[in-house]
Copies of this chain bind each other. A is one copy, B any other.
């Protein structure tokens, strides 16, 4: 099956919001344009605002010009795409207001029906209940939830339970769009499609792993939300731990069903809990202060609107995680994420060990150990650092970076994470979505750090905007005789 022939109705709750306009509509447009979704598929934008199909199409057209590249925005394609679109005014938390939507869906009871909640997470429970009350949940219905699921274990469990009252776990698709990235997919292909990597993928040959998700943005007007959250909740609990799981998991028995999710859960449960002393030693909190990004002065976190001027919320976190299992014993996973960093970059670094015997040492500078770099942002790339011989009559080795993202051919459409994930929702493939147990296991581990910080008191260390966080983050690795991978040179050239 190269093209999807699964008819579907997709209800996007909050379609007129930021996520809907910036990510979902473009993704659906591309799936349409490249023939990846059934011509019979319908898309219903739903929101509280009064409006008509026409007003929504106007808004969608305006938004498309901002979020779709001009050479991809073909008028005929857009025109045919809009035939799928409809708009219905619904107060999503009130079952009684669903009647107009209900009527439109009525004649297609047996097709795949997707409810995509592009809303605030604290509404997930109420909206699920309302959809149920309106009698819209069919056996082929699915619900898609965006992160964050909760702000701690308790609130996450509450959301999962209330959604779970009306949707079965196999109907719930919790999105982490990092998992839909081409490079993350290719990481799995490399590891499990080639005999060359999996035997090397263990403590015997890997020195450590680094996962960095760095943003240059600050809180961008979301100070009120962010100040209650912080980097650990906002990024580590979901994106970074998901990347850690995919990197560290055992080979699953199948790609389908729950096999991958089961392996990820095993990793989360093997994460070594921190004692209070270890939290002091192995985690670093930071908070950005006044600085410059790309030559422009930006304010400190405590001066951002809606942020408590005495806030102790971290905008940066670095930590040294350990996975207590046979494969990863003794291999640290260094995670860091922050706002107002020097560069926007998301990367997994697999640092292999040095060769056990330096055969070439007397003839050249020391051999650099192999390194696999999986970059998700700003560009997608997989690079392998290898030593090869410099051409010429002498045996002198040089480091070369080999591009493994070979399938990334110029000219071809690069499928974005949301395209892949929306398609998987329609196809009912749960592989790349988080199981309830995963979300809760991640919260369990993260919460002990949150509690530890609270118990320890104190404040995050300040770091200048435009840097890589507080010096203590650098010390975290240097103490172990290691260093954070230097993105800068690489990104600037």
Q: A residues within 8 Å of B by Cβ?
A: 2, 31, 36, 182, 185-186, 188-190, 192-196, 198-200, 204-205, 251-256, 352-357, 359-360, 362-363, 367, 369-370, 384, 386-395, 397-398, 400, 402, 404-409, 412, 414-415, 419-420, 423-424
Contact = CB atoms under 8 A, between A and B. Distances in A.
A182 B395 CA distance: 10
28 contacts: A31-B393, A36-B393, A182-B389, A185-B395, A188-B389, A188-B395, A189-B395, A189-B397, A190-B386, A192-B355, A192-B359, A193-B387, A193-B389, A193-B397, A194-B386, A195-B369, A199-B200, A199-B205, A251-B357, A253-B357, A255-B360, A386-B406, A389-B407, A391-B408, A391-B409, A391-B414, A393-B420, A402-B402
A255 B359 contact: yes
Contacts of A369: 195
Given A190-B388, A194-B387, 20 more contacts: A182-B389, A193-B355, A193-B388, A194-B355, A196-B352, A196-B384, A251-B357, A253-B357, A254-B359, A255-B395, A256-B362, A389-B407, A391-B407, A391-B408, A391-B415, A393-B415, A393-B424, A400-B406, A402-B404, A402-B406
Contact of A354 (B36, B192, B195): B195
Those 5 A-B pairs whose CB atoms lie nearest each other, nearest first: A193-B387, A189-B389, A400-B406, A393-B420, A192-B359
B370 A195 contact: yes
Total copies of the chain: 2
Interface centre among A198, A357, A362 (most CB of B within 10 A): A357
A49 to B, nearest CB: 31
The interface residues of chain A, by DSSP majority, are classed as loop
Contacts of A256: 362
A405 B402 CA distance: 10
A428 to B, nearest CB: 14
B389 A400 contact: no
Contacts of A387: 189-190, 193-194
Contacts of A355: 192-195, 198
Contacts of A384: 196
Nearest to A423: B393
Contacts of A405: 388
A99 to B, nearest CB: 35
Contacts of A386: 190, 194, 196, 404, 406
A424 B392 CA distance: 12
A352 B195 CA distance: 7
A421 to B, nearest CB: 9
A270 to B, nearest CB: 21
Contacts of A352: 195-196
A251 B359 contact: yes
A48 to B, nearest CB: 32
Nearest to A353: B195
Contacts of A251: 357, 359
Nearest to A421: B393
A360 B200 contact: no
Contacts of A2: 394
B196 A200 contact: yes
A397 B362 CA distance: 42
A24 B182 CA distance: 52
A5 to B, nearest CB: 14
Contacts of A400: 406-407
Contacts of A356: 195
Nearest to A184: B389
A194 B36 CA distance: 42
Contacts of A415: 391-393
A388 B404 contact: yes
B419 A393 contact: yes
B186 A388 contact: yes
Contacts of A391: 182, 407-409, 412, 414-415
Contact of A407 (B362, B370, B398): B398
A29 to B, nearest CB: 14
Given A388-B404, A392-B415, A404-B388, A360 B397 contact: no
A54 to B, nearest CB: 31
A355 B370 CA distance: 22
Contacts of A190: 386-388
B406 A388 contact: yes
A106 to B, nearest CB: 30
